[in-house]
Amino acid sequence: MIPHSRPTVSAEDAESVARVVRSGHLAQGAEVEGFERELAARLDVTAVAVVSSGSAALELALRALDVGPDAEVVVPTYACDALHHAVTRCGATPVLADADPETLGPSPKDVTRRLTRRARAVVIVHPFGLALDLDPFLALGVPVVEDCAQAIGARVAGRPVGSRGALAACSFYATKLLTTGEGGAVAGAAPRVARVRDARDYDEREDLVPRFNFKLTDVQAALGRSQLGRLDTFIARRRAIAARYRARLASLAGCRPPGDAGERHVFHRFVVTLERPVGPLLERLARGGIAVRRPVFRPIHRALGLGGYPEADRLWTHCLSLPCYPSLTDAEVDAVGAALAEALPT
């Protein structure tokens, strides 16, 4: 079986973790501080606070922007459920926006029409590794949280993804672009990040202002620092895989692969759009030893029993995510392409 996703770890990563374990200092400490400095430099922001997960990063970013009860936050429906959970845990109301059929991210036009006077933030997901143009969203006059869970390392208009919003949230789950096993980060201006840093740890405080245990450990941070040092190598391999897929699938009828977006795309996912519904292909390709997935498990509005999101519904029906990760071999890329070609009607 060729898995859909797979962590990319090395002996160097293992030694970095082992060094921390041997030191006896396992909790949040010097490795976390070093990881935060290196991430801030990479993202071109003044400060970073690393936390226990990408979901925690989203929640703490919203709290740092004073999102709470009676507030609304616009989030894309064609995205991970973590966005909905983060908003509701703040006591606020998620307002769903439809997808842009070209970028697969949130539609600027639909986000605009969903805004009300209660809107306190907009979460913009950079979808599947593609850095979106933030200008239409920044022009709305509402704080923008960049969700960079799938796009760290991408650049748009010469700027790193995550460097333009009010805050940015990152995820370092096992199969993300770089990993700490579980983990995340909030990036942005120092005063806002300071609020995140304060909220991630409740221990030994004089007051009882609500805080959390959302810390990252030095063990995880050591893995993250080792991975961050190889991020450019990871991205280069992902782009090479994407180019090989494009060449393989270019003449395949009924299949539209993503274009070459240059430095804007780091290909956390290689998402093709098919003319036919993808449902029957999932099982057929699995029987042939190829694990593929829908890029989004299920649009959020479907879990809520809502309608009115035609583009997200169309993308969910017709988009397919192919295996794309640094340890995928050229032979495996060719095998995936051949299996997809065989499964599609001529």
Burial group, residue 140, by CB count within 10 angstroms (0-12, 13-18, 19+): middle
**What residues contact 155, with CB distance under 8 A and at least 6 apart?**
131, 161, 263, 264
**Amino acid 345: pLDDT:** 77
Is residue 144 within 8 Å of 168, Cβ to Cβ?
no
Q: Determine how many CB atoms are found less than 10 A away from the CB of residue 251.
A: 8
pTM of whole model > 0.85? yes
Q: Could you tell me if 144 and 122 are in contact, meaning their C-beta atoms sit under 8 angstroms apart?
A: yes
pLDDT score recorded for residue 293? 98
pLDDT of amino acid 32: 98
Q: What are phi and psi of 322, to 5 degrees?
A: -95, 155
CA 75 to chain centroid, in Å, comes to 14
Instruction: Write down all domains in the chain, each with its CATH number in brackets.
Output: 11-228 (3.40.640.10), 231-343 (3.90.1150.10)
d(CA 262, CA 63): 34
Strand (E) or helix (H) holding 102: none
Mean pLDDT in runs of 10 for the chain (346 residues)?
A: 97 98 96 98 98 98 97 98 98 98 98 98 98 98 98 96 98 98 98 98 95 98 98 98 97 95 97 97 97 98 98 98 98 98 86
**In Å, how far are 76, 117, 148, 187, 246 from 111, measured between CA atoms?**
8, 14, 18, 23, 31
φ/ψ (deg, to 5) at 118: -85, -5
Q: Which pLDDT does position 136 carry in this prediction?
A: 98
